[in-house]
Amino acid sequence: MTGPAAVPRAYAAPLRAVDRTETVSDGPVTRLVLYKTVDPEDPYMAGHFPGLTLLPAVFVLEALRQAVTDLAGADEPLNLLEVRSGRWLAPMQGGDEIRLDVTVTPDGPGRLTVTADGVRQDGTPVAAVKATLGDRAAVLAARPPEDPPPAPADGPPGPDYTGILGLLPVRHPMLMVDRVESLDPGRQITVVKAVSGSEPCYQDLADGLPLSRYMYPRSLMLESFGQASVLLWLATGTAEGVPVAAAFRDCRFFGEVRPGAVLRHVSRIDRLMANNVFVSGQTWDGDRCVMTVGTLVGSSRPRERVDRALTAAS
């Protein structure tokens, strides 16, 4: 990491997700404007996608977390408690400047409701998000569902690691699935992701920080679940083009995940239609449910709709 991003950080984060912030109005309801230029040199970006730099949808969520954490001025960073809805409307390519118009509203002790609408520099809408952020007390107070952890996978094995590389259009360090435990094409997949302290999100953390600052970013956990879901979708043979996240709904997070955790994503297809898939599922750390996904919508788009350079050349 080079430049300003190399300054020691106070908590784990995949990248500096906000370049600058403007406060429009302050008070019980605060309005902000955030700016971020999609930089191919940022951590993780080299792997998303090779040959085509795209800002991952989840990094918009990370931008909201970082900006509102700075606004709150709290000792501990805020974290995602819930993604109520998120729609990603157009690709955000390398060099694009993204503007997010953000409203922050109190939502109970230690909780904030955050809404954001994003546009590219050409005025194209790119994102619409409604999420809940919370302080550490709110994170620890969130109670997971009482469902038992998934039984050991006994279905047919899925692709090995080289097979994963052959299917997913992401590479290190953005590749966030390590092993497919079981795969029932068209129905369900169980995928394992090990959280390592050597990942870029822990790079440049200041020395002497408390353990709480090593909490794995929830944006990356959601990205990892999304990649597991793409593997399940690709196994149906119905996805053509570039698979991208189109929407999230009712995603909730519980507890803290730190280096050494082994996450198990269980993703199920709820509906499959032309060029779109609807999935839901849970993520477990041992016997702890740490995330539930109400709906993730994936969309398969022709590459020329994703890469504007191809459109301009045609």
What number of other Cβ atoms are within 10 A of residue 201's Cβ? 26
- Of the residues 16, 36, 48, 87, only one is catalytic, namely 48
Question: Which are the contacts of 108, defined by CB distance < 8 A and separation ≥ 6?
Answer: none
Q: How far from 14 is each of 4, 56, 178, 219, CA to CA, in Å?
A: 15, 11, 18, 8
| Burial profile 3-18: b = 16 or more Cβ within 10 angstroms, e = fewer | eebeeebebbbbbbbb
Nearest residue to 14 (alpha-carbon basis) of 254, 195, 252? 195
User: Which secondary structure element, helix H or strand E, spans residue 292, and what is its range?
Assistant: strand 288-301
Longest dimension (CA), the chain: 56
Q: Is 172 considered catalytic here?
A: no
Q: Which DSSP string corresponds to 108-161?
A: STTEEEEEEEEEETTS-EEEEEEEEEE-HHHHHHPPPP-PPPPPPP-S-----H
- Active-site residue numbers? 48
